[in-house]
Amino acid sequence: MDKQSLFVQVANLEERIGELYVELGALKQKIVELLEENQRLLRENEFLSESLKAGGNPDIGVGMGNLKRIYDEGFHICSMRYGSLRTEGECLFCLSFINR
């Protein structure tokens, strides 16, 4: 058995494990951010649902402000694709909803 080659293989493996460890840490951080974002969106959705049920709620201006902010953060607020990420820039359906 070539001991030198074995050592190089182990060293390479160690390096790859190190890179994977860094990548795993970044993914874990991303999961935390997504969970927080999800929680925030759930709360906003709950608030908006309650506002809609109440009908003519004086807080509707606040609700529209929240929707505008969600849109500005890159999510659809139109009924077609509500809550999904806007990957193709501006959405005319969302904008017409905001400008209504």
- Number of chain positions touching Zn ion (CB under 5 A): 5
Q: In angstroms, what is the minimal distance from the CB of 59 to Zn ion?
A: 23
Query: Please, which of residues 23-82 interact with Zn ion by CB under 5 A?
Result: 76, 78
Classify residue 33 as exposed, middle or buried by CB count within 10 Å of its CB (0-12, 13-18, 19+).
Answer: exposed
Residues 6+ apart with CB under 8 A from 97: 67, 77, 78, 79
Among 44, 59, 93, 98, binds Zn ion (CB under 5 A): 93
DSSP H helical ranges for 3-78? 3-54, 60-72
In this complex, which beta carbon is closest to Zn ion, that of residue 26 or of residue 85?
Answer: 85
The stretch among 24-32, 33-41, 59-67, 88-96 that binds Zn ion (CB under 5 A) is 88-96
Give the residues lining the site for Zn ion (CB under 5 A).
76, 78, 91, 93-94
